[in-house]
Amino acid sequence: MSAGEVRGRKLRADVQRNRAALLETAQRHFLQYGVGTSLEAVAKEAGVGPGTLYRHFPTREALLAAVLQTRSEELVARQADIDRLGDPVVALEQWLRAMEEYFSAFSGLPDPLMAAARAQEPDNPLTIPCHILITATDQYVRAAQRAGRVRASVRGNDLFLAACSVAWIKGTGTEEESLDRLRTLIASGYRQQDSPA
Amino acid sequence: MSAGEVRGRKLRADVQRNRAALLETAQRHFLQYGVGTSLEAVAKEAGVGPGTLYRHFPTREALLAAVLQTRSEELVARQADIDRLGDPVVALEQWLRAMEEYFSAFSGLPDPLMAAARAQEPDNPLTIPCHILITATDQYVRAAQRAGRVRASVRGNDLFLAACSVAWIKGTGTEEESLDRLRTLIASGYRQQDSPA
DNA sequence: ACCTGAACACCGTTCAAGT
DNA sequence: ACCTGAACACCGTTCAAGT
């Protein structure tokens, strides 16, 4: 998708400028103040009226999803690197870390993401990336299970929830050491013990 | 602590009434709308001005902690029942569930609780219950470790974080089945495998 | 000593009026 | 077709004035 198009429709020059300014400003504000940042302030700093922001992005989730677009694509692209790793458990671990970083892009992001993951409402634009992530997680889980390295009872959704939890804990300001301990606990939970032959 | 006293000081009758009305109304609003509910609405429905609410409870956390007081005491009291169980792993499991229910008292509660658990600021009244819970969790973990039933690497804080995470996930509207799967994953993570003798 | 409620500075969201 | 910004209904918090 080129910069001047939205769903294939060419846009007037001023509309493109407004959209780009809104996205750029919103990203900066999400980074600095978290997902709950004032949309009024975003509009003002982008040099547009509040109505223009709502016209482009009817909900906060729509704006969030648009700002996350680039990161979503990067995450999907990263799968190619991960798939080249050979060891399916290492691949699963790296994938979980990659998701965690994605969830940690802005403070407070895990909440709307979880809401979207649960949602039946198909109008929430965050639902799509969530479903993609759960499906991808499931594939890594199955690959590791085929190699007998992950418990048969584990499903992709379980580890999606776990990764989202770790990102949420991280967002509350917990030190990296405690996070690592939690990650280790979770890894002990899904790994298949080597049966001593 | 009797109803008409705060830290041992006797209170004027109208002050008692205001305090009680605020707590009662706040609990109802926290239950119905979550921890982010409008304090202005609470004051109005309690029949007092906003200034009176702020005089009694200078921050949202102070009001939350006061409303949680009863539940905090119940949770501590429940330890006596749990301690009578015999099996240290069953005791640990029940304790984790009891904490989880406490964290789930109001929607959005895990966030201020985690913030308080991290905080160095001793003026946050939620910090005290958090530290009590972490210490208690650590005792259950150690007892189960002495019996060789929980991995030596696990600490109380790890399972405090895990229980808080599950409560957070629960608060996002995830179905009970998914929660149970997550709890099982965590339990697999902390349980010591029976070494096949 | 405590309470009241007006006042201030914010916010999300809509929509008539403009270009 | 798109943008503007005033307008409305909210909110947290403070503080002078009352009792």
Best of A109, A124, A170, A188 to substitute, by most chain B Cβ atoms within 10 angstroms, is A188
Measured between beta carbons, the chain A residues lying within 8 angstroms of B126 are none
Does the nearest atom of strand C lie within 7 Å of B51's Cβ? yes
Residue A137 class from Cβ within 10 Å (0-12 exposed, 13-18 middle, 19+ buried)?
buried
| Residues A99 and A114 sit within 8 Å (Cβ to Cβ) | no
Q: Does A162 touch chain B (CB under 8 A)?
A: yes
Residue B9: enclosing H or E segment and its boundaries?
Answer: strand B9-10
Q: Does A150 touch chain B (CB under 8 A)?
A: no
**Angstrom distances, CA of residue B163 to CA of A70, A155, B75, B110:** 33, 20, 14, 10
pLDDT at B34 over 90: yes
pLDDT at B7 over 80: no
- Angstrom distance (rounded) from CA B55 to CA B43: 11
What's the whole-number average pLDDT of chain B?
92
pLDDT tens series, chain A, 197 aa: 445 565 555 567 788 999 999 999 999 999 999 999 999 999 999 999 999 999 999 999 999 999 999 999 999 999 999 999 989 999 999 999 999 999 999 999 999 999 999 876 778 899 988 999 999 999 999 999 999 999 999 999 999 999 999 999 999 999 999 999 999 999 999 999 765 55
For the entire predicted model, the pTM comes to 0.92
Q: Does B135 touch chain A (CB under 8 A)?
A: no
What the block records as the tokens of A98 is 């990659």
Mean pLDDT of B89-94: 98
**Per-residue confidence (pLDDT) for residue A74, from 0 to 100:** 95
Please tell me which residue of chain B has the smallest CA distance to A178.
B158
CA atoms within 13 A on the CB side of A9: 6
Our CA-based measurement puts residue B44 at a distance from the nearest CA of chain A, in whole angstroms, of 26
Our CA-based measurement puts residue B109 at a distance from the nearest CA of chain A, in whole angstroms, of 13
Give residues 176 to 195 of B whose Cβ lies within 8 Å of A: 178, 181-182, 184-190, 193
Using left for φ > 0, alpha for ψ between -120 and 50, and beta otherwise, residue B19 falls in alpha
**Per-residue confidence (pLDDT) for residue B2, from 0 to 100:** 47
Indicate the SS3 state at residue B123.
Answer: coil
Instruction: Compare CB distances from A162 to B118, B182, B190 and report the shortest one's residue.
Output: B182
If you search the block for the tokens 């009590």, which residue do you land on? B132
Per-residue pLDDT reduced to its tens digit, B170-189: 999 999 999 999 999 999 99
pLDDT band at B107 (very low <50, low <70, confident <90, very high): very high
pLDDT at B119 over 80: no
Least confident of A107-121, B36-50, B84-98: A107-121
Measured between beta carbons, the chain A residues lying within 8 angstroms of B186 are 185-186, 189
Question: What DSSP state is assigned to residue B86?
Answer: S
Please choose, from the candidates B105, B121, B116, the residue with its C-alpha nearest in 3D space to the C-alpha of residue B167: B105
Q: Does B197 touch chain A (CB under 8 A)?
A: no
Interchain CB distance below 8 Å, A161 and B168: no
The DSSP string of B18-74 is HHHHHHHHHHHHHHHH-TT--HHHHHHHHTS-HHHHHHH-SSHHHHHHHHHHHHHHH
Please choose, from the candidates B13, B70, B69, B14, the residue with its C-alpha nearest in 3D space to the C-alpha of residue B47: B14
- Angstrom distance (rounded) from CA B54 to CA B33: 20
- Angstrom distance (rounded) from CA A57 to CA A66: 9
**Per-residue confidence (pLDDT) for residue B6, from 0 to 100:** 59
Give residues 18 to 47 of B whose Cβ lies within 8 Å of A: none
Interchain CB distance below 8 Å, A158 and B182: yes
Q: How many CB atoms lie within 10 A of CB A167?
A: 20
pLDDT at B168 over 50: yes
pLDDT band at B14 (very low <50, low <70, confident <90, very high): confident
The pairing of strands A9-10 and B5-6 is: unpaired
Using left for φ > 0, alpha for ψ between -120 and 50, and beta otherwise, residue A86 falls in left
Q: At A185, phi and psi to the nearest 5?
A: -55, -45
Using left for φ > 0, alpha for ψ between -120 and 50, and beta otherwise, residue B132 falls in alpha
Query: Looking at chain B, how many residues does it have?
Result: 197
